[in-house]
Structure 1
Amino acid sequence: MLLQLRTARYLTLNADILECISSFPDLLSRHSSPFSNLVCLTIDSGKGDFTKKRNMSTEARNFLLDNSPSATLIMDDEPWN
């Protein structure tokens, strides 16, 4: 599914999708990021989920952002670079 979005410049993913992606670190480390044009990646934790701590694995972060090194990552309304 993410390969279909490879030309996206602005992408918002649900935190549940991020959690799912993060649960396969071995698979992610074998594949390069499909995103080479990202300006901003936003992780939307959804209404009511702000109290639940969400984690992004290093492999998931690399998979999503490695080909867009200048992209801004926003999680829980706070930018991460």
Structure 2
Amino acid sequence: MTDTARVIIEVLAGLKPGKPEDEFTQRIVITSAEWEAASHNKDGQRQLLAARNTQASLYASGLMMRPDRLNWVKLEWIRL
């Protein structure tokens, strides 16, 4: 049985507006099992989400330091 995604945080970047380049795309997933396990600790889900958001934000910030290669960076998240 496959574990389903509960939260997806995606960083997209590229040269041409609206056209993300695969080599710079990063998808960070929180699975349902991770989300459920985190719910057993006080503020566990909030801490899990904060940690993954920090990971994505640091990656996006690093991409923003590449104006020689990229024109745009976007970070999106969705809770499923």
Output the TM-score relative to the length of structure 1.
Answer: 0.28
Whose strand fraction is larger, Structure 1's or Structure 2's? 2
Larger Rg: 2
Whose helix fraction is larger, Structure 1's or Structure 2's? 2
Output the TM-score relative to the length of structure 2.
Answer: 0.28
